Amino acid sequence: MTSSALSETATLDAAALRADFPILQQEVNGQPLVYLDSAATSQKPRQVLQAEYDFLTRSNAAVHRGAHTLAAEATDLFEDARATVARFVGARPEQLVWTSGATLGLNLVAYAISNATTGRGAPASARFALAPGDEILTTETEHHANLIPWQELAARTGAVLRHIPVRDDGTLDLDAAGGLVGERTRILAFSHVSNVLGIVNPVSELVDLARSVGALTVMDACQSAPHLRLDLPALGVDLAVFSGHKMLGPYGIGGLYGRSEVLEALPPFLTGGSMITTVTLDDAGYLPPPQRFEAGTQPIGPAIGLAAAVRYLDDVGLAAVHAHEARLAARMRDGLVGVPGIRLLGDAPGAERVGLWAFEVAGVHAHDAGQFLDAQGIAVRVGHHCAAPLHRRFGMTASVRASAALYNTEADVDAFLDAVSGIRDYFGANA
Ligand code: PMP
352 alpha carbon to ligand 1 midpoint, in Å? 20
pLDDT over threshold 80, residue 9: no
- Nearest residue (by CA) to ligand 1, atom 8, is 40
Among the atoms of ligand 1, which is closest to the Cα of residue 246?
15
Q: Stretch 388-394: mean pLDDT, rounded?
A: 97
For all residues of the chain together, what is the average pLDDT? 96
Note whether 379 and 37 are within 8 A (CB): yes
Number of C-alpha atoms within 13 angstroms, CB side, residue 196? 32
Q: Give the closest residue to 174 by CA, choosing from 145, 220, 207.
A: 207
The identity of residue 294, as a single letter, is: E
- Nearest residue (by CA) to ligand 1, atom 5, is 195
**What residues contact residue 20 under an 8 Å CB cut-off, 6+ apart?**
1, 45, 46, 47, 312, 407
Note whether 58 and 311 are within 8 A (CB): no
Sketch out the chain's domains with CATH numbers.
3-44+318-426 (3.90.1150.10), 51-314 (3.40.640.10)
222 alpha carbon to ligand 1 midpoint, in Å? 6
Q: Stretch 384-395: mean pLDDT, rounded?
A: 97
Query: Does the Cβ of 191 fall within 6 Å of ligand 1?
Result: yes
Query: Does the Cβ of 225 fall within 6 Å of ligand 1?
Result: no
pLDDT over threshold 90, residue 1: no
How far CA 410 is from CA of 38, 154, 178, 255, 335, in Å, comes to 16, 46, 41, 32, 12
Note whether 139 and 206 are within 8 A (CB): no
**430: helix, strand or coil:** coil
Query: Does the Cβ of 243 fall within 6 Å of ligand 1?
Result: yes
Cα separation, 36 vs 17, in Å, equals: 16
**What residues contact residue 418 under an 8 Å CB cut-off, 6+ apart?**
none
Q: Stretch 389-404: mean pLDDT, rounded?
A: 97
189 alpha carbon to ligand 1 midpoint, in Å? 14
Q: Give the closest residue to 82 by CA, choosing from 316, 315, 257, 332.
A: 257
Question: Can 386 be counted among the known catalytic residues?
Answer: yes
Cα separation, 234 vs 215, in Å, equals: 18
- Nearest residue (by CA) to ligand 1, atom 12, is 102
Query: Does the Cβ of 241 fall within 6 Å of ligand 1?
Result: no
- Nearest residue (by CA) to ligand 1, atom 7, is 40
285 alpha carbon to ligand 1 midpoint, in Å? 32
**59: helix, strand or coil:** helix
Q: pLDDT for 116-160, tens place per residue?
A: 999 998 899 999 999 999 999 999 999 999 999 999 999 999 999
**What residues contact residue 68 under an 8 Å CB cut-off, 6+ apart?**
61
Query: Does the Cβ of 201 fall within 6 Å of ligand 1?
Result: no
pLDDT over threshold 70, residue 431: no
278 alpha carbon to ligand 1 midpoint, in Å? 36
pLDDT over threshold 80, residue 424: yes
pLDDT on residue 5: 42
Geometric angle at alpha carbon 185, from 179 and 189, rounded to 5°: 95
- Nearest residue (by CA) to ligand 1, atom 6, is 222
Per-residue pLDDT band for 7 (boundaries 50, 70, 90) equals very low
Q: pLDDT for 300-357, tens place per residue?
A: 999 999 999 999 999 999 999 999 999 999 999 999 999 999 999 999 999 999 999 9
How far CA 337 is from CA of 167, 207, 331, 357, in Å, comes to 20, 34, 10, 11
Query: Does the Cβ of 429 fall within 6 Å of ligand 1?
Result: no
Q: pLDDT for 221-260, tens place per residue?
A: 999 999 999 999 999 999 999 999 999 999 999 999 999 9
385 alpha carbon to ligand 1 midpoint, in Å? 9
Number of C-alpha atoms within 13 angstroms, CB side, residue 373? 31
State the SS3 of 287-335. CCCCHHHCCCCCCHHHHHHHHHHHHHHHHHCHHHHHHHHHHHHHHHHHH
Query: Does the Cβ of 37 fall within 6 Å of ligand 1?
Result: no
Query: Does the Cβ of 100 fall within 6 Å of ligand 1?
Result: no
The identity of residue 125, as a single letter, is: S
103 alpha carbon to ligand 1 midpoint, in Å? 6
User: Is the full-model pTM beyond 0.95?
Assistant: yes
CB atoms within 10 A of CB 423: 23
Buried b (16+ CB within 10 A) or exposed e, 79-112: eebbebbbebbebeebbbbbbbbbbbbbbbbbbb
Rounded (10°) angle between helices 300-316 and 46-54: 140
Cα separation, 110 vs 105, in Å, equals: 9
Q: pLDDT for 251-284, tens place per residue?
A: 999 999 999 999 999 999 999 999 999 999 999 9
Per-residue pLDDT band for 65 (boundaries 50, 70, 90) equals confident
Buried b (16+ CB within 10 A) or exposed e, 220-237: bbbbbbbbbbbebbebbb
Cα separation, 326 vs 337, in Å, equals: 16
251 alpha carbon to ligand 1 midpoint, in Å? 12
How far CA 381 is from CA of 118, 368, 386, 396, 408, in Å, comes to 41, 11, 11, 15, 16
| Residue among 190, 195, 253, 354 to mutate when testing ligand 1 (max atoms within 8 A of CB) | 195
pLDDT on residue 209: 98
Query: Does the Cβ of 146 fall within 6 Å of ligand 1?
Result: yes
**406: helix, strand or coil:** coil
Catalytic residue among 160, 386, 388, 429: 386
Q: pLDDT for 188-221, tens place per residue?
A: 999 999 999 999 999 999 999 999 999 999 999 9
Query: Does the Cβ of 216 fall within 6 Å of ligand 1?
Result: no
